[in-house]
């Protein structure tokens, strides 16, 4: 644990950048139950490499008129929207915001709370979050 803290503080041995558009990313942890703590979700995660970069995604539902503003605010913290894959449901649009970071329970909980507040201030909802990391390589047949 201590070496990871030193790497974070001094930037030595920093992991290589992770491209969130990589095709081999798989969900290794997901929290869509407000009653479940981030630490519980991460403790039961299978395939999560804690000291490797991951894509942390937050799943929101935001009124269409507020989406651009929410994206602008989230961009200040390094988040980028994922291109939409689903049609809007009623008056709310599905919005997924993502960024690459090292994931731990404390930072995950902070970001979960931040996204919930951002969504609420813009008349929306934070449905949950998930973490993606590269999956095992699959040999071609």
71-129: pLDDT as tens digits: 999 999 999 999 876 656 678 999 999 999 999 999 999 999 999 999 999 999 999 99
- 5 assigned to some structural domain: no
What is the pLDDT, as a whole number, of residue 98? 97
- 7 assigned to some structural domain: no
What is the pLDDT, as a whole number, of residue 140? 47
What is the pLDDT, as a whole number, of residue 17? 82
Spell 16-33 as b/e; 16+ CB within 10 A means b.
eebebeeeebeebbebee
Which domain covers residue 49, as residue numbers?
16-134
Two tokens at 61?
């539902």
Q: For residue 133, what is the DSSP state?
A: E
- 139 assigned to some structural domain: no
Q: Looking at the DSSP assignment, which residues form a beta bridge with residue 132? A: 27, 55
- 9 assigned to some structural domain: no
- 37 assigned to some structural domain: yes
Which CATH number belongs to the domain containing residue 125 in this structure? Answer: 3.30.70.970
Q: For residue 82, what is the DSSP state?
A: P
Number of domains in the chain: 1
Residues 34-80: tens digit of each pLDDT: 999 999 999 999 889 999 999 999 999 999 999 999 999 999 999 99
Locate all alpha helices (DSSP H) within the chain, ordered by sequence: 2-10, 38-43, 67-75, 105-121
Give the Cα separation of 69 and 83 in Å (integer).
Answer: 16
Q: Please state whether the predicted TM-score (pTM) of the whole model is above 0.85.
A: no
What is the pLDDT, as a whole number, of residue 85? 65
- 25 assigned to some structural domain: yes
């Amino acid at each position: 644990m201590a070496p990871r803290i030193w790497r974070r503080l001094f930037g030595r041995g920093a992991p290589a950048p992770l491209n969130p558009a990589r095709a081999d990313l798989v969900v290794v942890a997901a929290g869509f139950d407000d009653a479940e703590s981030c630490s519980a979700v991460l403790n039961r995660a299978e395939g999560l490499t804690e000291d490797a970069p991951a894509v942390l995604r937050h799943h929101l539902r935001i009124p269409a008129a507020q989406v651009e503003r929410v994206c602008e605010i989230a961009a200040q913290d390094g988040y980028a929207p994922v291109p939409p894959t689903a049609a809007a449901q009623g008056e709310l649009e599905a919005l997924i915001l993502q960024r690459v970071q090292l994931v731990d329970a404390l930072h995950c909980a902070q970001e979960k709370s931040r996204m919930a507040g951002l969504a609420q201030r813009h008349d929306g909802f934070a449905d949950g979050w998930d973490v993606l990391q590269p999956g095992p390589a699959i040999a071609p047949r």
